[in-house]
Amino acid sequence: MAGLNGLINIARDALTAQSYGLGVAGQNVSNANTPLYVRREANIETRAFSGQSTGSVSANGIRRAVDAYADRRFFEANSHSGSAKQYDSELQQIETLFNDLGGTGLGSSLDAIFKSFQQLAARPNDTTVRAEVLDKVDVFTTRARQIGDTLSTQMTEMLARARDIAAEANGRASEIAQLNARIVEARQSGQDAADLIDQRNSKLLGFSELVDVRTIEGADGAIMVQSSGTMLIEGSSARTLSVSLDSAGKLQVLASRAGGAQPETDITAGLSGGKLAGIKQARDKALFDVSDRFNKFVFDVATAVNAQHQQGVGLDGSTGLNIFDVGTSYEGAARAVKISEDIFGRPQALGASLDATNLPGGSDNAVLLGKLADVTNVFGNTRTTSQAYGDLVGEIGTARASAKAEVELRGNIFQQAQTTRDSASGVNLDEEMVSLQRYQRAYEAAGKVITTVDGLLEELMAKVGR
């Protein structure tokens, strides 16, 4: 058991330890709203000099209240959420192009063409009606080209966005690698590196939103980050991502080491999370599919109308003319389609009659043109124009609805992961207030010990000196 002098030393250690605890609680309070801050706990333990108990206390650094599993789930959930959000955002733009309910679709302009053919049958020699047919054809082709152009632009913009995302991921990866190095260095020199680890987590959160991540923490404090089955960050080095197009025009994501000493690794097939995966799915699956279907739709409609119109004879005697210029292949049809040069500005050339001898009142071909709306001439002669367009819009709507549901699902999973992580590592002000009071009381008590011992010593001195 310590004597009075020893007691003063114990009280001094207690003051130091409790003030350290106060400092840690204060730090927690200060960072209550700091994103990804991990609550610290002061490691306060008895000081052991030898086998004999001294009752002294010491503060041996801090402990981070971290749950490694919750952290991993959190970053993975963020990757999936990022992917779902990006995919949905891209699909939203596609959906807007086909939103007839919002007045931006193609359906009404297609219906208007067939309606104008009906009017042409009723008034085959009326110049105004003929001009109206050409006008409706022009409106349809203009709108089809606008949609085709926008789909094509989106294709290019998505490539640019994928490259931006890769560049951003490279920046984050480089920062994480640098922080890895600083953490290892700090640990080796006996420091806790807690602030650096929090910073790295913050960078990792941003990184996980861009690409899928799996993290493994090494004994030295550095983390290894795996993405798409490939190690992207290892210690202080990070691979660089680049995005290019493969021979089919689809996105290809390559990972290469600094200096390019080793061959690039194609990680495209393994992309499973993050914005990069979302954009790839939206571009190479949804957008390709929609563009392909839309091109076929426009090509089939234009080809069917052309084939029927070629049978007709115009008021000027012309025959065998096309209404649409659409080329010979469906590829790129939407961007290429336009009103045919044969009839542009020539309403008299519209072939409403099948027989030249029936001019100008012959209307049989106009009737057949109008009835094309009811003929299965689209998508391999399996669907009528309205059925085909309805299918196309329905498919886009279904894809977007699934994407929205996925965003909600992934968002909920992320929130759960965030809640779990935050529950383990976040700051609870109630707890910190209690801790502050606890350390304050202990500090005051240690001070009281010193005052008491001091009083005893003073009294002892007075008695001894008498």
Partner 1 sequence: MRVTETLRFDLVSRRLSDLRSKYQDTALQATTGQRVNAPSDDPVATAEASRVRSSLAKAQGNERTITLVKGDVEMAEASLAQAGDVLQRAREIAMAGANGANGADQREALAIEAEQLVSQFIEISNAKGSQGYLFAGTQWDQAAFDANGNFQGNDQQHLVDTGAGEPIAVNVSGAQAFTAAGGREIVQDLRALVDGLKNNSTDAVRNTLDGLQLSHDQVARERSHAGLVLNRLELSQSILSQTDLDLSRRETDVVSADPTATFSRLSQLEGAINNSVTVGRRLLDIGNIQRF
Which residues between 225 and 264 bind partner 1 (CB under 8 A)? none
Is residue 135 involved in binding partner 1 (CB under 8 A)?
no
- Residue (53 or 416) nearer to partner 1, CB: 416
Token representation of residue 264: 């690039």
| DSSP string computed for 384-443 | -HHHHHHHHHHHHHHHHHHHHHHHHHHHHHHHHHHHHHHHHHS--HHHHHHHHHHHHHHH
Look up tokens 């700090």; give the residue: 186
Q: Which stretch binds partner 1 (CB under 8 A): 278-286, 294-302, 385-393, 445-453?
A: 385-393
Is residue 112 involved in binding partner 1 (CB under 8 A)?
yes
Is residue 130 involved in binding partner 1 (CB under 8 A)?
no
Q: In Å, what is the CA distance from 228 to each residue of 232, 255, 276?
A: 9, 10, 11
- Residue (221 or 314) nearer to partner 1, CB: 314
Report in angstroms how near the CB of residue 191 gets to partner 1 at its nearest: 26
- Residue (65 or 231) nearer to partner 1, CB: 65
The count of chain residues that interact with partner 1, using the rule CB under 8 A, is 71
Report in angstroms how near the CB of residue 143 gets to partner 1 at its nearest: 15
| From 235, 270, 397, 447, residue interacting with partner 1 (rule: CB under 8 A) | 397
Report in angstroms how near the CB of residue 2 gets to partner 1 at its nearest: 35
Binding mask 398-437 for partner 1 (x = CB under 8 A): x-xx-xx----------x--xx--xxx-xxxxxx-x--xx
Which residues between 310 and 349 bind partner 1 (CB under 8 A)? none
Burial of 310 (0-12, 13-18, 19+ CB in 10 A): middle
CB 276 within 8 A of CB 169: yes
Report in angstroms how near the CB of residue 21 gets to partner 1 at its nearest: 17
Residues contacting residue 205 through CB under 8 Å, at least 6 positions apart: 35, 36, 74, 75, 78
Is residue 370 involved in binding partner 1 (CB under 8 A)?
yes
Residues contacting residue 366 through CB under 8 Å, at least 6 positions apart: 117, 118, 120, 121, 124, 312, 350, 352, 353
Which residues between 436 and 465 bind partner 1 (CB under 8 A)? 436-437
Strand 240-245 and strand 223-227: the pairing is unpaired
Q: Which stretch binds partner 1 (CB under 8 A): 49-57, 108-116, 163-171, 228-236?
A: 108-116
Q: Which stretch binds partner 1 (CB under 8 A): 45-53, 100-108, 187-195, 282-290?
A: 100-108
Report in angstroms how near the CB of residue 34 gets to partner 1 at its nearest: 9
Q: What is the dihedral of CA 189, 195, 201, 206, to 10 degrees?
A: -120
| From 63, 72, 123, 257, residue interacting with partner 1 (rule: CB under 8 A) | 123
Is residue 360 involved in binding partner 1 (CB under 8 A)?
yes
Is residue 2 involved in binding partner 1 (CB under 8 A)?
no
Residues contacting residue 233 through CB under 8 Å, at least 6 positions apart: 173, 176, 177, 180, 223, 224, 225, 239
- Residue (45 or 374) nearer to partner 1, CB: 374
Q: Which stretch binds partner 1 (CB under 8 A): 3-11, 242-250, 330-338, 358-366?
A: 358-366
Nearest to 180 by CA among 148, 215, 154, 214: 215
Q: At 394, which amino acid appears? A: G
- Residue (212 or 432) nearer to partner 1, CB: 432
Report in angstroms how near the CB of residue 33 gets to partner 1 at its nearest: 7
- Residue (12 or 63) nearer to partner 1, CB: 63
- Residue (63 or 371) nearer to partner 1, CB: 371
- Residue (162 or 290) nearer to partner 1, CB: 290
| From 1, 50, 52, 102, residue interacting with partner 1 (rule: CB under 8 A) | 102
Is residue 390 involved in binding partner 1 (CB under 8 A)?
yes
Is residue 26 involved in binding partner 1 (CB under 8 A)?
no
Three-state SS at 352: coil
| From 16, 26, 43, 100, residue interacting with partner 1 (rule: CB under 8 A) | 100
Is residue 395 involved in binding partner 1 (CB under 8 A)?
yes
Token representation of residue 199: 């910073």
| DSSP string computed for 50-118 | SSS----EEEEEEEE---HHHHHHHHHHHHHHHHHHHHHHHHHHHHHHT-GGGT-SSHHHHHHHHHHHH
- Residue (153 or 423) nearer to partner 1, CB: 423
Is residue 82 involved in binding partner 1 (CB under 8 A)?
no
| DSSP string computed for 13-67 | HHHHHHHHHHHHHHHHHHTTTSTTPPPEEEEEEE--SSSS----EEEEEEEE---
CB 446 within 8 A of CB 56: no
C-alpha to C-alpha distance for 175 and 182, rounded to whole angstroms: 11
